[in-house]
Chains A and B, each alone.
Chain A
Amino acid sequence: QSALTQPASVSGSPGQSITISCTGTSSDVGSYNLVSWYQQYPGKAPKVIIYEVRKRPSGISNRFSGSKSGNTASLTISGLQAEDEADYHCFSYAGSYIVIFGGGTKLTVL
């Protein structure tokens, strides 16, 4: 089972919107609405910000939103803020009791 494919890096200016893609296959992302996204600051543990494609845990800003089309899931951050600068990882169920992460994307706020 290969890792989900994410861009290595994305960037945006404060106030803008950015989107991070997460491409899998018809066996994982395409088959299940079980994609989640994690935010990770340097030296810190990841934190879930989106689960089941588009749901937000309590306390997560509505500036974060998720979607999915076919084998690709996406994380959109609107109204970009300096504090959003972090690494973002996608994650999906892949069937047969297997789960997989993406390679991670570094977000830079210019």
Chain B
Amino acid sequence: QLQLQESGPTLVKPSETLSLTCIVSGGSITNYSYYWGWIRQPPGQGLEWIGSIYYSGSPYYNPSLKSRVTISVDTSKNQFSLKVNSVTAADTALYYCARHVSYVEYFDSWGQGTLVTVSS
């Protein structure tokens, strides 16, 4: 059974870089049918798609975050990563990684999420 697990620092200082990794187990990240994505949810708010990537390394991003976000994939470790630069308190959120059934379709499997707080 596919499992996704987010890992990374839970506290980041303003202006610094938020870095998270999603470890995929129970399935290969190189499965050609899927993309891999990041979604976030500020406390008490709705979901926001951050971006997605294919195993070959072609990422695409939410235009509102594109200037600060980098998503990469490491097929040798079966994981993919997220970096958000120049964070502010507005980046405080529950961050989820998820499997994306093609870049136009839905997310069918999610990690449990990790809360990242931006604070000095």
Binding site for B on A (CB under 8 A): 1, 3, 32, 34, 36, 38, 45-48, 51-52, 57, 89, 91, 93, 97-104
Contacts and interface: CB of A to CB of B under 8 A. Distances in A.
Contacts of B45: 103-104
A38 B112 CA distance: 15
Contacts, number: 60
B34 to A, nearest CB: 14
B65 to A, nearest CB: 11
Interface residues of B, number: 24
B105 A45 contact: no
Given A1-B63, A45-B112, A101 B46 contact: yes
Contact of A99 (B46, B49, B64, B108): B49
A51 B109 CA distance: 13
Interface in B70-119: 96, 98, 101, 103-108, 110-113
A34 B105 contact: yes
A48 B108 contact: yes
A51 B105 contact: yes
